[in-house]
Amino acid sequence: MGYLDELNESQRNAVKNIYGPTMVIAGAGSGKTRVLTFRIAHMMEQGIDPFNIMALTFTNKAAREMTERIGSIVGGGEARNITMGTFHSVFSRILRYNADRLGYPSNFTIYDTQDSKSLLKSIIKDLNLDDKAYKPGNVLGRISSAKNNLISPQAYAQNADIIAEDKMAKRPEMAKIYLNYANRCFNAGAMDFDDLLYKTNVLMRDFPDVLAHYQQKFKYILVDEYQDTNYAQYLIVKKLAAVYENICVVGDDAQSIYSFRGANIQNILNFKRDYPDFKLFKLEQNYRSTKNIVEAANGVIAKNKDQIQKTVWTDNGDGEKINVIRTLTDNEEGKVVTNRIFDKSKGDGLMYNDFAILYRTNRQSRSFEEALRKLNIPYKIYGGLSFYQRKEIKDLLSYFRLTSNHHDEEALKRVINYPKRGIGQTSFQNVIIAANQYGVSPWDVISDFNRYPVSINTGAKNKISLFVTMIKSFRAQIDTMDAYALAKEIAKASGILKELHTDKDKGPEEVERYQNVEELLTGIKEFTMSREDGESKALSEFMLDVALLTDSDQDEGEDRNHVTMMTIHSSKGLEFPHVYLVGLEENLFPSQLSLNSRTELEEERRLFYVAVTRAKITCTLSYATSRFQWGNLITCEPSRFIDEIDSTFLKFEAPTRGGGRSLSGGVSFRENYVGGLNKPLNKETRSLKPMKKMSSGPSSGRSNGSSHSPSNLKVGYNVEHDRFGKGKVTKLEGQGADVKATIFFPRHGSKTVLLRFAKLKVLE
């Protein structure tokens, strides 16, 4: 058991205690993944059958890495017998195996957020409701909250308090929408992500034999990130662990930051109530960060009242103090931070992927993107449009989905006339109306017009019938062809490859779309080649993997030498040598929306704690004294969280000139910078000149740029845009003041801009 020697005493004790209810409170950077991994390996070394172990992780990527690490200790073959993955991936497989109990096909589709919003948009239109009062995103959030609290559409409609809330919010028809949404999903043989938990609870509630089976199968249950579980997840785990109570939960109440997704911190705080004889282990040694960072974070989180007491410490060196930078504007903040990254990377010989810029909201990224582009610093924004959400990828995936599950309404709606085959929107809308009238799926209607009469002309019916025949032919090959062979056949036969194939009339965007489809097919080829003997290589199996990808599972294998930009919520579980935490202003962070109660403020403080503890070597805080919001310049005050850090761990820097380096390095007086924005500016600050307004004419320091009027600009000219960088004019249209240019930017694709507002600079 040499692997136990790799652990400190607290970690070792948590690993060796494999029976009974156990809670491991793991401070930031304390090695909780290692403890989980070694604990499972130790269980197997003690003779526990891996088939009896279920481990629920935060991402599928984490599950794969843990399985590999366990395999290196006990043997890879046995490690693969552990049931390990996210809540959604593990329970989706249980649902597929028992789908008939709930009236679903085993190959049910999993709707992503985009699918759900599209369906809700259709329902809102069908019910003749105001789409401004019933915005699909808000409606979906309301339905998601209901499901996470295990409230069915019927119970929702009968709950007087809920109905009263909806009326107050001027959405009195929410119950009707929820019921319609549930019925349409059921008829389509589809579940959304929330259903994967909601339906699992229904399955275990209504079928005691199923619950008993899995209670006996999963005698040992481990849950990572327990502080982030919602009520539905909590109840599933509690039911499964009820017989043997060999349950181990790992987490940190100080990092509970997902209440907006339904996470309930009380699940971890009340673990001792559910299991009075539990054993508690605390992992308090931080291996990640310097002492200054650890102590600063400790001082802030100590202000929270609702928490499990622990003392995080480190043997690492003191490190640099946390820098605090004040800038005059949000644009200047972007320039200052970017200049620091540039100087530090060049001066210290660092890679760009050593740096991360973290912010409270996605909209803050703009000023940093512009500044990074101007210095040609590569960057990547996480949480943006993923590969699998691009139109051309969604189109082809919809064909795959429809092949596997003919009743998938959203997939059918997306591809029935793509590529165009003469089936109009009106015809398909009549199909939807008929399907709703007969209580069946749209596929049922289009595959049997004799049984389900619909008002469509003969020509449209014939075209639809050809489409149905094509999809059925794909389905006939699903069990005989592997995922790649069938995917390539569908891409060709559907006409998508021909539609996207490049020729002289296609622009750069079309080329990229075609290449994206090629990349998808390459990924499917790799999937089929990576499957072990005996594992399914079917297209439906690949689709299951895609449907359950999380943000952290995507974007592997590409060039990683770039500055990382993301919201703090997205950064959880990650670490970076150098972190810039920006926008530290009242009403921005903490958010103005989170100042109504102590509970909300404490979650914001936990979010700040998470941000600071992502840093390994240096942490820099920045804020602006003014920023634009909705076109108005507002005055900002520094965040209270800066003031909550002991000044021993901080270094305040003088204001900067025009986004460059600081005028005089650090200063030792705190009062001029924190809580002192309403005081007169000091002499040095008062002498700063305001930023010059950007113009479309030649800029100083660049002799190769010139200003051209709309009438002089020509197709083929190379230009530079303030936001999108350098590009080439590919099209001009319009007259006079309304001239528009289509410009291809290598980083952003084609953009159409109105010349009188674009402020373009023509490059000779």
Of 147, 335, 340, 614, the catalytic one is: 614
Question: How is residue 53 written in tokens?
Answer: 């172990």
DSSP 8-state class, residue 565: E
Of 109, 227, 233, 255, the catalytic one is: 255
**Is 340 a residue of the active site?**
no
Q: Residue 560, Cβ neighbours under 10 Å: how many? A: 13
Of 194, 225, 354, 444, the catalytic one is: 225
Question: Beta-strand (E) ranges in 537-683?
Answer: 563-567, 576-581, 615-624, 626-629, 632-635, 650-653, 666-667
DSSP 3-state helix, strand, coil percentages of the chain (rounded to 5)? 50, 15, 35
Q: Determine the 3-state secondary structure of 30 from DSSP.
A: coil
Contact by Cβ (8 Å): 207, 98: yes
**Is 326 a residue of the active site?**
no
**Is 255 a residue of the active site?**
yes
Cβ neighbors of 23 (< 8 A, separation 6 or more) are 226, 248, 249, 250, 268, 271, 272, 278, 279, 280, 281
Bridge partners for 326 per DSSP: 623
Question: How is residue 674 written in tokens?
Answer: 């924190």
**Is 225 a residue of the active site?**
yes
Of 11, 22, 32, 288, the catalytic one is: 32
Sign, CA torsion 569/571/572/578: negative
Sheet containing strand 247-251, edge to edge, reads 83-85, 53-56, 220-223, 247-251, 22-26, 279-283
HEC readout, 266-322: HHHHCHHHHCCCCEEEEECECCCCCHHHHHHHHHHHCCCCCCCCCCCECCCCCCCCE
**Is 273 a residue of the active site?**
no
Contact by Cβ (8 Å): 578, 356: yes
Of 33, 83, 290, 564, the catalytic one is: 33
Task: Single out the residue of 89, 20, 21 nearest to residue 57, CA to CA.
Answer: 89
Total length of the chain: 764
Task: Single out the residue of 336, 346, 341 nearest to residue 379, CA to CA.
Answer: 341
**Is 32 a residue of the active site?**
yes
Of 166, 194, 224, 553, the catalytic one is: 224
Positions marked active-site = 32-33, 224-225, 255, 614
